């Protein structure tokens, strides 16, 4: 059975890609054929090979199925801003049909599909659609990444409520330490465990530097996703 997961975050820059790579590593260690998918990405660089997004490249490297860049990231934009703004300016509409076709193509190669969103839950993809709308259309169970810092409890509760009100399953959540742990860190985590009605898959500690040799998957227990 193919397992598909949609990774969203409490905000932008909370570590969705770090968590997605950790999930891909853990799933690969568990014997799955893994594929990371970043259907829409803004904040990229122009290279000799074309536009490349760092988050999408990280997903590509951490997938154990060999994938082309286009398979991982069909919509890539240079400017680091909301996708609906740059896509309109570039006259390149973000089509749900193309996003879904890319996901379906990956399902023929892998049995663990890790889909990473952009920004937070309601990131706009056009004047009338959001990333949440596409996740709902695909009926993807959601994994929430919480960047542990002041304000994260409110943001986590708001996102969790939005996911559940959309009729999707909040399959689990990951605490990502986006900064060195502070005085109230333990209390933040205790409160999050209490208010988020889904299993905590693990805590990724603060890493001043992460490279391809960093073992992130060991921090997560993906067996909890079956609960």
Q: What is the pLDDT of residue 18?
A: 96
In whole angstroms, what is the distance from residue 4 CA to residue 142 CA?
A: 9
Q: What is the pLDDT of residue 203?
A: 98
Reported as type and span, the H/E element at residue 76 is strand 75-77
> At residue 171, what are phi and psi to the nearest 5 degrees?
-75, -25
Q: Which regions in the chain score pLDDT beneath 70?
A: 227
Q: What is the pLDDT of residue 209?
A: 85
Q: What is the pLDDT of residue 214?
A: 86
- What's the pLDDT tens digit per position in 26-40? 999 999 999 999 999
Token pair for 202: 């693990």
Q: What is the pLDDT of residue 185?
A: 96
In whole angstroms, what is the distance from residue 27 CA to residue 12 CA?
A: 24
Q: Catalytic residues, which ones?
A: 38
Bridge-based pairing of strands 45-47 and 50-52 is antiparallel
Q: What is the pLDDT of residue 42?
A: 96
Q: What is the pLDDT of residue 227?
A: 54
């Amino acid at each position: 059975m193919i397992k598909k997961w949609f990774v969203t975050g409490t905000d932008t820059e909370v570590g969705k890609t770090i968590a997605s790579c950790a999930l891909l590593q853990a799933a690969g260690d568990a014997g799955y054929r893994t594929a990371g998918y970043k259907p829409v990405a803004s904040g990229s660089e122009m290279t000799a090979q074309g536009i490349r997004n760092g988050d999408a490249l990280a997903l590509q490297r951490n997938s154990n199925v060999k994938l082309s860049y286009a398979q991982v990231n069909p919509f890539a934009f240079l400017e680091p801003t909301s996708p609906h703004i740059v896509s309109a300016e570039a006259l390149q509409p973000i089509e749900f049909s193309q996003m879904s076709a890319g996901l379906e193509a990956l399902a023929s190669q892998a049995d663990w599909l890790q889909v990473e969103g952009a920004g937070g839950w309601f990131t706009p993809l056009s004047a009338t659609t959001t990333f949440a709308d596409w996740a709902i259309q695909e009926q993807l169970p959601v994994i929430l990444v919480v960047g542990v810092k002041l304000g994260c409890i409110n943001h986590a509760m708001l996102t969790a409520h939005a996911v559940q009100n959309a009729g999707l399953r909040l399959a689990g959540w990951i605490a990502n330490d986006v900064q060195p742990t502070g005085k109230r860190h333990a209390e933040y985590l205790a409160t999050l465990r209490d208010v988020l009605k889904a299993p905590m898959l693990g805590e990724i500690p603060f890493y001043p530097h992460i490279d391809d040799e960093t073992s992130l998957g060991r921090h997560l227990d993906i067996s909890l996703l079956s609960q």
